[in-house]
Amino acid sequence: MTDNVPYPPSTPPVPPPAGPHPQAGPHPPAGPHPQAGPHPPAGPADAPAGPFAPGTPAGPQAPAGPGVASGPHGQAGPHIPAAPLAPGAPAGPDPLTPLPGLRFGSSYRTPRTRWWRGVLSIAVVIVAVLLFSIVLSVVAVAIDMLLGLQDPEAMIEGRISMTPAMLAATNLSLIAAAALSLIAHRFINGVRVGYFHSVAPGLRWGWMWLSFALVAPLYLLFAASSFLDPAYQTLTFSGTTLAFFFVIILTTPLQAAAEEYMFRGVIQRSVGSWIRSPRWSFIVGTAASAAVFSAAHFAADIWLIVYYLLFGVLLSILTQRTGGVEAAIAIHTANNLFLLLVSAVTGQMDAGFDRSAGVGGPVMLVPVVILAVVLLVLSWVGKRHRLTTVTGGEAITADAAGPGTALPSASPWTGSGQQAGE
């Protein structure tokens, strides 16, 4: 493309065509056109109309607005086209990015949302949990049988002891199912990976660690209260105890995160994507995810069923108020980690996983009250840290910015600047 060269003085300027300038390619909007104000009189009445008409006096011209070049004597300078789109930049709304202004529970709504995507994603999560649980449990039982850790007669009656191998199988089955839920998030619901964690997008590590630091002491005290029960007052230290510690510390945080990604992440948002109203999207999505979460624990006691249901509802509220699953992961990890460690050191792992009818009671409302208080505290702290709670905030993705564009530094609190790439 050649530069615009001014006409020689002896050649009168050629008036531009009356229609729009031909575009050599797509240009991004250059923003509102600067207003130069009303045009001054064009000179004598017989002078041809238009600023480039021959004979128009070079009298005072209205000042050019920002970005409009001015030539000598105040006439308009050469046309400077707007910068072209960066290579690879989307010409319209990104079909893999949630629509702007959505809360977490509705953030599966993209330009190409379809109802069947949510149905298929939920089916993938449920089938994956059941399939991996069955396969890995069979492997764990086979290992225990070789080691003599399972009672064949008890197994015939449907009673399987909780061993390190069984605990590892339980946790790994959920972790594997969460991996498939990530695939469902990206390739079935069609949303960028960064939004798997939050609306920021990206995983807000600083917020997650802060949440854990705030709730861990409380849940440690709650787990320690188990020592008030006479059944938990005998400590045991053995090879089995050490094996339990190893499995708990390595896999329980990932298991807790996996459940949050599946139930609060994929299932709730898949249901929420079917409903346009943000309020009803959250209500129906929360009800569905909490019901599936409670059913997935296979509890036969009504108190335990209600406990798991309320646990799911409160964590859904927390994800909605903080814009992501990080705080829910911190709570879930602290709750499971400390309770399992206490059960392991007291030899009560079987009791800890007993969900048969009659094992629960009104005491199950205590952790519900604790969680409700924690929800209020973390919601307040998140507001103080100005967490991003809706889509389309200050976060910029590398895809949208284009090659060579400097991205802002990532904030561990709001997620601003974190890439929502593939």
CA distance 245 to 216: 18
Q: Is residue 176 part of a domain?
A: yes
Q: Of 3-7, 32-36, 37-41, 212-216, where does the model show the most confidence?
A: 212-216
Helices 302-322 + 326-345 axis angle, to 10: 140
pLDDT digits over 143-159, tens only? 999 999 988 888 888 78
Q: Would you state the pLDDT for residue 91?
A: 54
Least trusted range by pLDDT, from 123-137, 142-156, 249-263, 324-338: 142-156
Number of domains into which the chain is organized: 1
Q: What is the mean predicted confidence (pLDDT) over 218-230?
A: 96
Q: Is residue 36 part of a domain?
A: no
- Report the C-alpha dihedral over residues 317, 319, 321, 323, rounded to 10 degrees: -160
Q: Establish if 190 belongs to a structural domain.
A: yes
Query: Does residue 129 form part of some domain?
Result: yes
Range of the domain at 325: 104-401
Does residue 395 form part of some domain?
Answer: yes
Domain-embedded: residue 334:
yes
Let me know if residue 419 belongs to a domain.
Answer: no
Average pLDDT over all residues of the chain:
81
Instruction: Specify if 19 maps to a domain.
Output: no
Provide, for the chain, the percentages of residues in helix, strand and coil under a 3-state DSSP scheme, each rounded to the nearest 5: 55, 0, 45
